[in-house]
Amino acid sequence: MKKRLSLIILMILGTWSLQASDLAGTWISETSFTRGIKRLTISPRDHTIRVIRQCRRRLCDWGRTHYTPTTHGLLAVWPRDRAYRVILAERVGHDRLRVVLKRLPYYGSGVSTRVLYFRKAGNIHPRQGRLRAFEGRWIPLGYRHDRGLFRLRISMEDSAMKVRARGRCYPGICEWGSSRVEYRHGKLVVRWHQRGIDRVATFRGIARDRHGRYTRLKVEILTRLRHGREYREVLYLRRER
């Protein structure tokens, strides 16, 4: 445990500082990982920070804890689930927050680090707001025996939306990889190039939940093979539970 606390102290001493009041307010995550941090609320008046995190099927409140100001941001620690959860937050740009999240177990190994980005609540661009309706993990409706799309994840990464897909290849399943999204008239257009095969997929939302997120997507995929042959397919996706 002393080793974990020493690491926290080193993080404080090795960081750089600004007025915590510049970080005041609520910050919304740019990403949509299933169990990631969704919202941060920073209150300079009482020197506290509150974290709201996405658990399996609900939001979890870490509660408020006091933070330590650093040169360019702040640092806070939560003891949770037999480990310290450490957040080091600093501002990058006018309305963007970079957060280093560390998990330091009380005993043994298992230290992990993630870097997350947040936007000031109310400062999310309208287009980005529309894109967020597509975020999540998706699988086809029903079981497919062809070589089509098998599973994908749509997420915001460093202010850019990307799609990582896995598809059916002969004789099994292969990674199509991660590709950046083009947003056109309410649709997402994604391109993949793999071993001489070009794929262009167009995603369109066809049903929403009460929060405005899509629950069903229609996908049209154009596949061009290296010898010139091409074929199209249409499939429907649902959110993976």
Q: What is the mean pLDDT of residues 49-74?
A: 84
Task: Give the residue among 49, 95, 88, 87 at the shortest CA–CA distance from 72.
Answer: 88
Residue 237 has a pLDDT of 92
User: What predicted TM-score, i.e. pTM, was given to this entire model?
Assistant: 0.51
Half-sphere exposure of 7 (CA within 13 A, CB side): 19
Q: What is the mean pLDDT of residues 90-101?
A: 84
- Residue found under tokens 């994908």: 152
Domain 128-239 class in CATH: mainly beta
Q: In Å, how far are 19, 55, 91, 144 from 9, measured between CA atoms?
A: 20, 29, 21, 53
What pLDDT band is residue 8 in, cutting at 50, 70 and 90? low
Is the pLDDT at 219 greater than 90, yes or no? yes
Q: Which fold has domain 2-124?
A: Lipocalin (2.40.128)
Where in the chain do CATH 2.40.128.20 domains reside? 2-124, 128-239
Residue 236 has a pLDDT of 92
Give burial (CB, 10 Å; 0-12/13-18/19+) of 53.
middle
Is the pLDDT at 34 greater than 50, yes or no? no
Candidate from 11-25, 126-140, 167-181 with smallest mean pLDDT: 11-25
What pLDDT band is residue 171 in, cutting at 50, 70 and 90? low
**Distance between CA atoms of residues 146 and 144, nearest Å:** 6
Residue 115 has a pLDDT of 87
Residue 95 has a pLDDT of 76
Candidate from 3-7, 9-13, 36-40, 224-228 with smallest mean pLDDT: 9-13
- Residue found under tokens 């409140």: 61
Question: Over the stretch 97-119, which tens digit does the pLDDT of each residue have?
Answer: 889 999 898 887 888 888 888 88
Give the angle subtended at the CA of 84 by the CAs of 78 and 85, to the nearest 5°: 60
What pLDDT band is residue 38 in, cutting at 50, 70 and 90? confident
Q: How many CB atoms lie within 10 A of CB 83?
A: 19
Residue 17 has a pLDDT of 45
Question: Over the stretch 114-156, which tens digit does the pLDDT of each residue have?
Answer: 888 888 876 555 556 677 788 889 998 875 545 577 888 998 7
